[in-house]
Structure 1
Amino acid sequence: MSDVRSAISADMPRAQRELRELVAFRSVHDERQFPREECVAAANWVRSAFLDAGMDSVELIETDDDSLAVVGHRPAPAGAPTVLLYSHYDVQPPGDRSLWDSEPFELTESRGRWFGRGAADCKGNVVMHLLALRALGDDLAVGVTVVSEGSEEMGTGGLEALVQARPELFESDVIIIADTGNAAVGRPTVTTTLRGIANVVVRVDTLNGEVHSGMYGGPAPDALAALIQLLSTLRDEHGNTVVDGLDTSQVWDGIDYPADRFRADAGVLDGVDLAGSASVADAVWARPALTVLGIDCPPVVGSAAAISPTASARLNLRVPPGIDPQTAQDALEAHLRAHVPWSARVSIEREAIGSPFRARTDGPGYAALSDAMKEAFGTEVSSAGQGGSIPLCNVLAQTFPKAEIVLMGVEEPLCRIHAPNESVDPREIENIAVAEALFLQKLGRSDR
């Protein structure tokens, strides 16, 4: 390991320069917010960087959602396995810039961390792959395919469609999805499950139009009040998610998630209790979770003394492995229709579902990566779930059923991905890069 560690440690100043260049691209895949040229420039940067890191060929492929996928190959020696290294170069919008302590698209160093949009999610993982590949140079006994996506954050499915249309580009024995991370800084963690998604928009109608609250308030059915009462049926008195007909009793059998660490990670205010009676690990990795993403109703500023005739809400239902997302969406719709008060009219708009994912943990790829992470971090490896969804994992699993899919990366809780002041700990980039390089070595040797 000493040679790999030394090479990557010496290469970290270059990695910081590269991440600074990459963060500077405003690569949000949404032309309503930033010009497409920003994503194109980022894609070209990634292509050049992987070529420089030793890939034989790297091409830009336009997908059906108008994004550019960066796909590169270095063929495997005869009889050796191929490893696919995934990342994405597109990022979330920066949001309200007044909430940032520094410019979102300028990499800034503070308190031992590197700040900037995409520093962790997922440009930090792009740089991590580059570090690992450069450390090995020609000492690669496996084939490598690199894939960097350009529309992951928007969820428009361009890469998923490309996998289905051109599977030969992605065929591999082990797939490393570098878009998750450790349970905490310095605590090596492999993600083994992802929750799926089953969203709906519910609308409640009660009146032909607004009426005066003084003249009609009381018996007149208030659509906003009806919606509030309806939404309250989706949590019990302890705050647990409850949906009629949906199993909410599953338990997590991996690493624990201490409540005090969760409070700190999530930024829970002092004196405010956590919702629900389950353990944090059960709640975020093993059970359904219902979140109200938004409500359409009169705003406080400018509101009139009138009863609302209509109100609607967008509901986000996260679905763990073991529960079919279509079944969950059916149950959610049935629950909403059954619990609406005052026989109010209800309409349900279903959004596209996403399936949960469970990784295999019994193959040589998982074993080699676990050994490599233990060696790189100097401590045992844990398994964790992730509450978010990565639809690509299911498409890859369906397309390549014999391939092992492993999720890891540089994104630990302090990164605050998708939020203002996103950051990455450079020690995580270095250690994960060391682990990935050791993994590629170990897998190549085990196949000889």
Structure 2
Amino acid sequence: MMPFTAALRAETEAGFDDAIANLGQLVAIPGSAWAALDPAPLERSAQLVAELFEGAGFREVGIVREARPDGAPGAPSVLASRPAAPGRPTVLLYAHHDVQPAGDPHAWHTPPFEATRRDGRLFGRGVADNKGGVVLHLAAYRAFARAAGAENGLGVVVFIDGEEEIGSPSLPQLLRNRGDLLRADVVVVADSGNWRVGVPALTTSLRGIATAVIEVRVLDHALHSGTFGGPVLDALAVTSQLVASLYGPDGSVAVAGLGGWDSSQVDLSEDDYRADAGVLPGVRLAGSGSIASRLWTKPALSVVGIDAPGVDVSSDAIVPAARAKISLRLAPGDEPLRALEAVRAHLEAHTPLGAHVSLVPGSATKSFAGDGESPAARTMRRAMEEAWGVAPVLMGVGGSIPAAAELAASFPHAQVLINGAEDPDSRAHGADESIDLADYRRAIFAEALLLASLEQGA
């Protein structure tokens, strides 16, 4: 095995510049699945992904769309495959090519859609989440195929999602229609990250998510705040009281009936968390229990948007209606729809002064709980230790990946592994998104080692 490991390492090194160039090509395409944005870049992104995997030797490559629950066509996803030789396993490689919008371009120190190297890192929208995952799979497969030769018997299926950032709404239909094609013994989801720079990690749990909009109405039209102010409370004040009621005195989520527990997994120190998150001096942390519990196994609720008159254009009038969008992260095992019903019951019990309040559900993603001791997980951990020179951490992640839960449910006998290109300073979804280039090189090598081990029957 050692000579082959050296060959894999050499192929990883030889192909690394091409991998970064491919990642730069993808970053340059601002493909987002958001309905309000131009769909043309997402089509170009899918086409480029298909061309890259064709160039890597996959003969069966296609761009597919499936219907969403409302009947609308889904975004373009890419499927590529090569069959396994008799008696050899099949691995499914998942990532997504759609990205979040860049946000305010002035908040970036480099152009968001131009991959830029600086201080050992690569910056640009999607380098971490998740075009970096697409190219991680691509580069690892190329290194493995070159070292193992065309005669290797490993079956490989590639599924590059086109709408993960909006909850993968067409994924259930895709699994119903194309599940036989996606069936695999091992699933590798490259949409997470490492414990920190220089220390790898295998993600073994993900929180679920449920989003909703709280709508508040107190009047049928706006009123002069001097003539009518006093007897009726404006909708913004009512919304503020409702939002405040969702939290306890220590900032923990106060909605009754939500699951959660203290985690005994590896913990983060408060100093490390504050540094990684950029918490301002003097701001106290919310909740109780270990930092890991608050991130991985307890619910978290964020108010991610409010519809209200802007300060600079607001008139001196009582606001008749307001909306607030909430994002509720759920402990592994908690069901999104049940959790939203708990929120609805909380709002009904805490609505002030008889205001008219409704809860409009949005997207929902189930949680994921994996097995860090499965044969494939142990193989991946050995590969990571070989690549980094230190043992990987088994960690949870507070975020959600719709495909992880859906694929695990559709293929209950498959071993699901979650890796990725991120680290605590990657700032996915934010300005100056980036990855550490040295760790990215190691991640490619580790996945190539995993593929080689699977092909050889480990």
> Smaller-chain TM-score range?
over 0.9
The structural deviation recorded for 1:35 is 4.5
- Count, aligned residues: 445
Answer whether contact 1:141 1:441 (CA < 8 A) is retained: no
Answer whether contact 1:115 1:424 (CA < 8 A) is retained: yes
More deviation, 395-404/330-339:
395-404
Q: Give the Cα separation in 2 of the matches to 1:334 and 1:320.
A: 19
Distance 1:237 1:137, change over 3 A: same
Paired AA for residue 19 in structure 1:
L
RMSD: 1.9
Structure 2's unaligned 5+ residue stretches are 68-72
The answer on 1:212 being equivalent to 2:224 is yes
| Residue aligning to 2:70 | none
| Residue aligning to 1:11 | 15
Q: Give the Cα separation in 1 of the matches to 2:14 and 2:291.
A: 39
Q: Give the Cα separation in 1 of the matches to 2:429 and 2:411.
A: 30
The answer on 1:69 being equivalent to 2:71 is no
Structure 1's unaligned 5+ residue stretches are none
| Residue aligning to 1:184 | 196
After TM superposition, list the pairs within 5 Å mapping 1:260-275 onto structure 2.
260-275=271-286
Q: What's the % identity of the aligned pairs?
A: 41
After TM superposition, list the pairs within 5 Å mapping 1:30-179 onto structure 2.
30=34, 32-36=36-40, 38-64=41-67, 65-137=73-145, 139=148, 140-179=152-191
The answer on 1:240 being equivalent to 2:252 is yes
Determine helix, strand or coil for the equivalent of 2:192: coil
Answer whether contact 1:160 1:392 (CA < 8 A) is retained: no
The answer on 1:196 being equivalent to 2:208 is yes
More deviation, 335-344/263-272:
263-272
Distance 1:352 1:120, change over 3 A: closer
| Residue aligning to 1:408 | 419
More deviation, 408-417/194-203:
194-203
More deviation, 129-138/431-440:
129-138
Distance 1:67 1:302, change over 3 A: closer
Paired AA for residue 288 in structure 1:
P
Determine helix, strand or coil for the equivalent of 1:410: strand
Distance 1:41 1:219, change over 3 A: closer
The structural deviation recorded for 1:325 is 2.0
Answer whether contact 1:29 1:39 (CA < 8 A) is retained: yes
Paired AA for residue 124 in structure 1:
G
Distance 1:30 1:326, change over 3 A: closer
Paired AA for residue 425 in structure 2:
L
Determine helix, strand or coil for the equivalent of 1:418: coil
Aligned with 2:352 (options 323, 334, 341) = 341
| Residue aligning to 1:231 | 243
The structural deviation recorded for 1:30 is 4.2
Determine helix, strand or coil for the equivalent of 1:239: coil
Aligned with 2:307 (options 296, 310, 321) = 296
Q: Give the Cα separation in 1 of the matches to 2:311 and 2:24.
A: 42
Determine helix, strand or coil for the equivalent of 2:372: coil
| Residue aligning to 1:286 | 297
Paired AA for residue 46 in structure 2:
A
Answer whether contact 1:86 1:147 (CA < 8 A) is retained: yes
Answer whether contact 1:121 1:179 (CA < 8 A) is retained: yes
More deviation, 108-117/1-10:
1-10
Q: Give the Cα separation in 2 of the matches to 1:176 and 1:62.
A: 22
Determine helix, strand or coil for the equivalent of 1:117: coil
Answer whether contact 2:376 2:415 (CA < 8 A) is retained: yes
| Residue aligning to 1:21 | 25
Answer whether contact 1:296 1:311 (CA < 8 A) is retained: yes
The structural deviation recorded for 1:66 is 4.1
Paired AA for residue 131 in structure 2:
K
Aligned with 1:397 (options 402, 405, 408) = 408
Answer whether contact 1:194 1:388 (CA < 8 A) is retained: yes
The answer on 1:356 being equivalent to 2:359 is no
Q: Give the Cα separation in 2 of the matches to 1:398 and 1:424.
A: 31
Paired AA for residue 276 in structure 1:
G
Q: Give the Cα separation in 2 of the matches to 1:363 and 1:247.
A: 26
